[in-house]
Amino acid sequence: MTRKGLLTTQRKMILDIISDSHDHPTAADIIERLKTRGFQVAYATVYNSLRFLTEEGYVRELKLDGDASRYDARMEDHQHIQCTSCGRVDEVLTEAPREWLAAIAAETGYRMTGEHFLFKGVCAACSHTKN
């Protein structure tokens, strides 16, 4: 196997950071957390590692509102909710109603192979500070 296909030390460190995070970090967040742990990793290494981890199915890339992609190590089907005030992203484990998927398939003619919904709202912390 070539080095390209291996889970190198840098890739493993990045995967560990994503796996230990519940806030769906951006590449910039990951770089800062690497620095906090005492590691200096080149930006290109982080971005190339994120691409590898995504393509190999270790993490999901989330393209939510905002400019930067976020990364999620939780690979089972689930949805996300994003705070419109602070940008926080949380997981939604409630399954999508099957009738929604059937209606979408009937409307579009697509055979459904998966879904990803982004819900929006104001998180409890932001709601609390505005009251």
Locate 31 and state its tokens: 């770089």
C-alpha dihedral, 17 to 51 to 42 to 21, nearest 10°: -10
Which amino acid belongs to residue 14? Answer: I
* Separation CA 95–CA 97 (nearest Å): 6
What pTM did the predictor assign? 0.78
Is the four-CA dihedral 91, 92, 93, 98 of positive or negative sign?
A: negative
Report the pLDDT value the prediction gives residue 2, as an integer from 0 to 100: 47
Q: What is the mean pLDDT of the chain?
A: 90
Given the structure tokens 């957390």, which residue do they identify?
33
Given the structure tokens 């190339």, which residue do they identify?
48
Which amino acid belongs to residue 65? Answer: D
Which amino acid belongs to residue 109? Answer: G
Q: Which has more pLDDT, 71 or 3?
A: 71
Residue range 109-114: average pLDDT?
90
The domains of the chain, with CATH numbers, are 3-72 (1.10.10.10), 79-130 (3.30.1490.190)
